[in-house]
Every structure is written in structure tokens, then in C-alpha cells.
């Protein structure tokens, strides 16, 4: 069996203030009719990952409605202050007062990698022109966007490859990470990696085997794009054991180079690029 690097970077963790987690877990458990195994508040979640060799940890949260990005970002700044190996994708809502100025303030933090949009939850199309100033700012500041724009594991009319394609017509250089390997349109999102060098995919929710939203392309595609894939877990907002995805990836018996890059080097390179003030 293959081995992980001695320390791994998780590029897709969620941390919320306690009340935010309570609301999300309640919503998710009701929707799935199932109990979640890791209802850890932020400090416990971070400690749990640290004990399992995860560092740095890149977390995000999202603003499901107008008015909450600002208090959430205050909380994010405080949490970044508590843990020196923590990095953040900060939430944004285009209808907030001074939304752009606040995004700029957040991106001035040494360990803010960029901004996060969860379009399915926020009910905004990626090609909505209200987001264009944010895209310009992210490019201008050398930052990155974590963009939930795929239609899986759950979708609605605001997400899907066809919408995202329209963003690229205007912003072909936008540094963007597409979570969940682009689920369910794996083929389409992966093909973008050929033409858009600033796009990366993350593995979150895609590598538990034999589920409707499991990554279903040949493993040779994983080798082909191993420079552009980041390990991410969606921890602690998951229903199945966190190790299940890691074990499945190891069982695929890919090259040592694949595991080194996906679980560590690719993430490290992006952190150095988007957070150059941090000595890694």
C-alpha cells in the first residue's frame, strides 16, 4: 500500500463560529436523514487534524446571505491569530455594504489565500456581473478563489459547468480552485486544466468509492493532472469517515509522485504563491 507524505496539507476544511456550525449540521442532518460523525467546533476540529499530521490547514466559510460576511471575517481574523498554521479563504457577498473594500482588507492578511463563494448556497450565478469586481481584485492582489460552481454533490440552477465557462470568457487568468473535482461534470472541468493554467481541482467529497458523486474517470487522468489537484476533505462537514477517502486514494496505487504532490507539494506551492509574506 502506498504512503502519505509525513505531513499533509488539507486545502478544504470548513470552520464556522459555533452557532454557524450548529445551523449547518442541523440543516445537513435533516436533509440527509443521517447523523454526522464529526460535530467538532473549530478548536477541536483543528486539534483533531493536527493529531493526524495535517498542517497547514486551509479553511473557508461562506456567506449564505447578505450581512454576515463581515462578522464572519472578524471571527476568521481572530481564529487565524490563534493558530499560526491556519490559512483562510474568506467569505464574500456582493450585496454587502463596502463588500469590495472589506474583501481587500481581508486579502491584505498574510494568511488569507483568497475568497470563497459557494454559489449553490448563495444562489448567485458565477457569471453574475456583481462578482466581476471581486474577480478583478483577486487577480490584481495575486490571490485565489475557492469557487463551489459544480453541480455536485448537490446542485441547483446556479451551478454547473456551462455557467462557469462564461466566467472564463471574461477572466481566463482567474486563479480558481474548483472543489469536488468538478463533480458531477468531472470530464468537462478536468479538460479545462489543459487550457487554463490557474485552475486547480480539489478532492473533497469525491473519493469515497461507489457513491453517486464518486470520481468516475480513469485513474490515468489523476496521474496526468497530478500537478493541478489538491487534497481537500470538507472536514468536519462530512457524513463518512474522513480516512475513507484517503484510503481509497492510496488503494488506487498511483505513483509516489502523485501522493507527494496532491497531499503536500501542490498546496505548499500555492500557499507560497498567494501568501508570499509567510515563510513556509
Task: Tell me how far, at minimum, the Cβ of 200 lies from Zn ion, in Å.
Answer: 15
Nearer to Zn ion, 185 or 234 (CB): 234
Helical ranges in 125-196 per DSSP H: 132-140, 161-170, 186-195
In the complex, what is the shortest distance from the CB of residue 204 to Zn ion, in angstroms, rounded to a whole number? 6
Q: How far is the CB of 2 from Zn ion (least distance, A)?
A: 25
State the minimum distance, in angstroms, from the CB of residue 118 to Zn ion: 7
Q: Site residues (CB under 5 A) for Zn ion?
A: 234
Q: For Zn ion, which is the closer residue by CB, 24 or 84?
A: 24
**Closer Cβ to Zn ion, 14 or 169, answer by number:** 14
- C-alpha dihedral sign at 174, 176, 178, 182: positive
Contacts 24+ apart (CB under 8 A), 18-25: 18/42, 20/61, 20/72, 24/237, 25/237
CB of 96 or CB of 234, closer to Zn ion: 234
Closest approach, Cβ 84 to Zn ion, in A, equals 23
Residue nearest to Zn ion (CB): 234
Look at the block and give the residue holding cell 475513507: 244
- Chain CA centroid to CA 213, Å: 17
Work out whether strand 144-148 and strand 199-202 pair parallel, antiparallel, or are unpaired: unpaired
* Cα dist from 16 to 42, 74, 88, 187, 233, whole Å: 7, 12, 12, 32, 15
- Rank residues 234 and 245 by Cβ distance to Zn ion and give the closer one: 234
| Dist. CA 46–CA 183, nearest whole Å | 26
**Largest CA-CA distance found in the chain, in angstroms, rounded:** 52
Beta carbon of residue 171, minimum distance to Zn ion (angstroms, whole number): 22
Closer to Zn ion at the Cβ: 16 or 171?
Answer: 16
Q: How many CA atoms within 13 Å lie on the side-chain side of 77?
A: 12
Amino acid at each position: 500500500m502506498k504512503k502519505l507524505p509525513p505531513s499533509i496539507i488539507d486545502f478544504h476544511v470548513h470552520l464556522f463560529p459555533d452557532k454557524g456550525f450548529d445551523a449547518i449540521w442541523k440543516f445537513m442532518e435533516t436533509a440527509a436523514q443521517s447523523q454526522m460523525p464529526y460535530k467538532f467546533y473549530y478548536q477541536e476540529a483543528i486539534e483533531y487534524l493536527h493529531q493526524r499530521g495535517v498542517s497547514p490547514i486551509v479553511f473557508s466559510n461562506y456567506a449564505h446571505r447578505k450581512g454576515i460576511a463581515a462578522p464572519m471575517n472578524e471571527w476568521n481574523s481572530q481564529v487565524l491569530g490563534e493558530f499560526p498554521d491556519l490559512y483562510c479563504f474568506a467569505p464574500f457577498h456582493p450585496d454587502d455594504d463596502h463588500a469590495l473594500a472589506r474583501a481587500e482588507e481581508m486579502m491584505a492578511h498574510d494568511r488569507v489565500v483568497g475568497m470563497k463563494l459557494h454559489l449553490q448556497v448563495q444562489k448567485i450565478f458565477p457569471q453574475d456581473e456583481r462578482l466581476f469586481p471581486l474577480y478583478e481584485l483577486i487577480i490584481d492582489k495575486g490571490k485565489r478563489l475557492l469557487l463551489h460552481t459544480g453541480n455536485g454533490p448537490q446542485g441547483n440552477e446556479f451551478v454547473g459547468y456551462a455557467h462557469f465557462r462564461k466566467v472564463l470568457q471574461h477572466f481566463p487568468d482567474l486563479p480558481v480552485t474548483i472543489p469536488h473535482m468538478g463533480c458531477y461534470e468531472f470530464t468537462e472541468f478536468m479538460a479545462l486544466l489543459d487550457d487554463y493554467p490557474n485552475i486547480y481541482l480539489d478532492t473533497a467529497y469525491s473519493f469515497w468509492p461507489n457513491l453517486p458523486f464518486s470520481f468516475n474517470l480513469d485513474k490515468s487522468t489523476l496521474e496526468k493532472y497530478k500537478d493541478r489537484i489538491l487534497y481537500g476533505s470538507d472536514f468536519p462537514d462530512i457524513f463518512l469517515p474522513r480516512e475513507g477517502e484517503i484510503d481509497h486514494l492510496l488503494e488506487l496505487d498511483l505513483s509516489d509522485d502523485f501522493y507527494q504532490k496532491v497531499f503536500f507539494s501542490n498546496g505548499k506551492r500555492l500557499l507560497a504563491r498567494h501568501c508570499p509574506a509567510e515563510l513556509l
